[in-house]
């Protein structure tokens, strides 16, 4: 008899573990444990989504004839970790081997590989996670052939490998990337898609009560929980996106608008990352919409690029460079994370809007994360480890393998340009161009050094001044420094920015 341990981000019947086990003889183990639920202050909706999805998946496995041993969360239980749970089940079954699929976090994977076999006095078989398009071995081979690991190179190889939007070895439309066509601001038209809601069963109700009781001190609210917690409902989310949002996703994927939480985004990442959906079925559905004439090429290519390109790429980066990657801090930033990242209370309207969305929905789309909350953390010199912990905690789709490279590499430029050739730094002008946030704000986006000037403006130029030795000779940043050289108020910018940073929690 073998045990198969299934984790909270592996909730799919095509999981490698299930492929090798025998449902007539082997036992599936699943557990909600204190160690995994509390190592960061996860958003209550994130915990509720994972716990409910796990319980629904366990129920489905039992219906398929599997023997399942499930440990529901108990804060006072002596079972604190996944290893504790496996050991407790060893007392009940004559187990000969533990089978697991490679997990999504270096911390846990190292525990499994280095300690579990000895602690359990059992062989531990760790299987490759074949739900991804690119294996870790394949990514290492890709990395060995390039001096610069740009996502675009990787993405083109994956397009050729999978055949998505390809004619032979050439991309449909004779262009690999339509990102330049996907930067329209949204001003009310086309209309937003209808909201998709789900009926809640007793499993959901029980989990919500548990989370309200045990995790009420965490930032975020359960009140607006709208996530699917079953595979059938996750498939409904995919169908809803393809039908209502994909046709406009490309044009408006970088847009932001006051009071709108999701615009035309898919909301599929939580289901991809916990296993309720597979990346292949999602990309297949998007490509089919293009061939059916339902969605334009720029929308479908942009969507597939996020999954086939970016998602697979950040996973490869994570496993290639961990554990050293987590401690990178190329810009030597060390400021504490401002308190408003946890409370949401700030006079900067763009930040307040992103925090509102975050705490109400455990969600913010990629531009809100990168160019608002992330951009501010970069410009104000926040410690990369502190902002990384925040992103990991507050979003329903945040698992370390995908969150850490996005934060350290894309948001904070802390990896020294490994992932992004230049920092994603921007002044208030970018926010003004891509949203209507500024017209609802008490700060003036048009000025730099006045008492009511948008903080992003002086902090942007102060960032460029502080890191001039690194970026002045950068081939993609020459125009920025030529602009800086023309500024007549350089000293006033420095003084104003320093004043802002000295009272950052009051902004």
pLDDT at 339: 96
Spatial contact of 472 and 481, defined as CB atoms under 8 Å apart: yes
**DSSP labels for 318-354?**
HHHHTTGGGG--TT---BPPPTHHHH---S-HHHHHH
Q: How many CB atoms lie within 10 A of CB 38?
A: 15
| 272-322 tens-digit pLDDT | 999 999 999 999 999 999 999 999 999 999 999 999 999 999 999 999 999
Tell me the mean pLDDT per 10 residues along the chain, length 507. Answer: 96 96 96 90 96 98 97 92 95 95 95 94 95 95 86 93 94 88 83 94 96 92 95 97 95 91 94 97 97 95 95 96 96 96 96 96 94 97 97 96 95 92 93 94 96 96 95 91 92 96 95
Nearest to 407 by CA among 458, 373, 435: 373
Residues facing 127 on adjacent strands: 101
Using the structure block, give the residue that is written with the tokens 């804060």. 75
Name the burial class of residue 63, with classes exposed (0-12), middle (13-18) and buried (19+) by CB atoms within 10 angstroms of its CB: exposed
Using the structure block, give the residue that is written with the tokens 């390809």. 166
Q: Which two tokens stand for residue 490?
A: 């350089």
Residue 2: its H or E element: strand 2-5
Classify domain 340-506 by CATH number: 1.10.579.10
Q: Cβ neighbours of residue 424 under 8 Å, at least 6 residues apart?
A: 370, 371, 374, 375, 378, 410, 411, 413
Spatial contact of 360 and 405, defined as CB atoms under 8 Å apart: no
Spatial contact of 66 and 24, defined as CB atoms under 8 Å apart: no
Burial 282-305 (b: 16+ CB within 10 A, else e): bbebbbebbeeeebbbbbbbbbbb
Pairwise CA distance, residues 392 & 404, whole Å: 8
Spatial contact of 126 and 101, defined as CB atoms under 8 Å apart: yes
Pairwise CA distance, residues 294 & 237, whole Å: 17
| 359-384 tens-digit pLDDT | 999 999 999 999 999 999 999 999 99
Pairwise CA distance, residues 87 & 92, whole Å: 9
Dihedral angle computed from the Cα positions of residues 451, 452, 454 and 460, in that order, rounded to the nearest 10 degrees: -10
Q: Is 66 left (phi over 0), alpha (psi -120 to 50) or beta?
A: beta
pLDDT at 420: 87
Q: Cβ neighbours of residue 373 under 8 Å, at least 6 residues apart?
A: 341, 351, 354, 355, 358, 364
Nearest to 37 by CA among 25, 27, 46: 46
pTM over the 0.75 mark: yes
Pairwise CA distance, residues 408 & 413, whole Å: 6
pLDDT at 188: 87
**Cα–Cα separations (whole angstroms), residue 272 to 224, 248, 275, 317, 373:** 21, 21, 5, 18, 24
pLDDT at 494: 96
Pairwise CA distance, residues 397 & 141, whole Å: 28
**CA max distance for the chain:** 78
Tell me how many helices (H) and strands (E) the chain has. 26, 7
CATH class held by domain 2-127: alpha beta
* Assigned architecture for domain 136-313: Alpha Horseshoe (1.25)
Task: Estimate to the nearest angstrom the gap between the alpha carbon of 405 and the chain centroid.
Answer: 10
Task: Estimate to the nearest angstrom the gap between the alpha carbon of 58 and the chain centroid.
Answer: 25
Return the domain boundaries, the chain: 2-127, 136-313, 340-506
**Cα–Cα separations (whole angstroms), residue 463 to 379, 390, 418, 479:** 6, 22, 20, 15
pLDDT at 300: 96
Reduced 3-state DSSP string for 449-507? CCCCECHHHHHHHHHHHHCHHHHCCCCCCHHHHHHHHHCCCHHHHHHHHHHHHHCHHHC
């Amino acid at each position: 008899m073998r045990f198969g341990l299934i984790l909270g981000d592996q909730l799919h019947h095509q999981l490698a573990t299930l492929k090798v086990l025998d449902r007539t003889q082997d036992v599936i183990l699943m557990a909600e444990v204190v160690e995994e639920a509390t190592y960061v202050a996860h958003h209550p909706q994130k915990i509720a989504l994972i716990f409910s999805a796990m319980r629904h998946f366990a129920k489905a496995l039992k219906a398929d004839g599997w023997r399942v041993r499930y440990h529901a969360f108990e804060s006072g239980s002596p079972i604190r970790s996944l290893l504790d749970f496996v050991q407790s089940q060893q007392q009940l079954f004559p187990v000969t081997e533990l089978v697991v699929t490679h997990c999504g976090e270096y911390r846990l994977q190292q525990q499994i590989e280095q300690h579990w076999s000895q602690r359990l006095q059992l062989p531990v078989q760790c299987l490759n996670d074949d739900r991804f398009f690119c294996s870790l071995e394949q990514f290492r081979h890709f990395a060995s052939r390039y001096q610069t690991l740009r996502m675009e190179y990787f993405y083109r190889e994956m397009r050729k490998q999978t055949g998505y939007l390809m004619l032979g070895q050439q991309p449909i439309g004779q262009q690999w990337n339509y990102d330049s066509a996907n930067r329209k601001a949204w001003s009310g038209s086309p209309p937003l898609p209808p909201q998709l809601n789900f009926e809640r069963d007793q499993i959901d109700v029980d989990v919500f009560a548990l989370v309200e009781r045990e995790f009420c001190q965490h930032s975020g609210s359960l009140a607006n929980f709208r996530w699917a917690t079953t595979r059938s409902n996750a498939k409904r989310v995919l169908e809803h996106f393809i039908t209502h949002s994909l046709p406009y996703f490309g044009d408006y994927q970088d847009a932001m608008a006051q009071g709108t939480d999701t615009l035309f985004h898919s909301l599929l990442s939580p289901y991809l990352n916990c296993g309720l959906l597979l990346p292949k079925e999602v990309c297949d559905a998007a490509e089919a919409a293009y061939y059916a004439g339902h969605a334009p090429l720029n929308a479908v290519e942009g969507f597939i690029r996020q999954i086939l390109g970016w998602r697979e790429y950040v996973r490869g980066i994570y496993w290639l460079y961990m554990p050293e990657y987590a401690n990178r801090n190329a810009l030597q930033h060390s400021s504490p994370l401002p308190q408003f990242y946890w409370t949401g209370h700030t006079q900067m309207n763009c930040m307040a809007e992103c925090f509102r969305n975050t705490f109400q929905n455990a969600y913010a789309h990629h531009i809100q994360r990168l160019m608002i909350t992330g951009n501010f953390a970069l410009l104000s010199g926040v410690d990369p480890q502190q902002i990384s912990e925040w992103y990991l905690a507050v979003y329903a789709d945040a698992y370390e393998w995908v969150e850490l490279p996005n934060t350290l590499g894309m948001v904070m430029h802390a990896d020294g340009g490994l992932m992004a050739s230049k920092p994603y730094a921007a002044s208030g002008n970018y926010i003004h161009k891509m949203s209507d946030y500024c017209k609802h704000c008490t700060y003036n986006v048009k000025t730099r050094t006045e008492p009511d000037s948008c903080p992003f403006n002086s902090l942007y130029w102060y960032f460029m001044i502080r890191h001039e030795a690194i970026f002045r000779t950068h081939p993609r940043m020459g125009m920025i420094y030529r602009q800086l050289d023309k500024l007549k108020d350089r000293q006033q910018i420095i003084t104003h920015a320093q004043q802002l940073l000295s009272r950052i929690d009051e902004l």
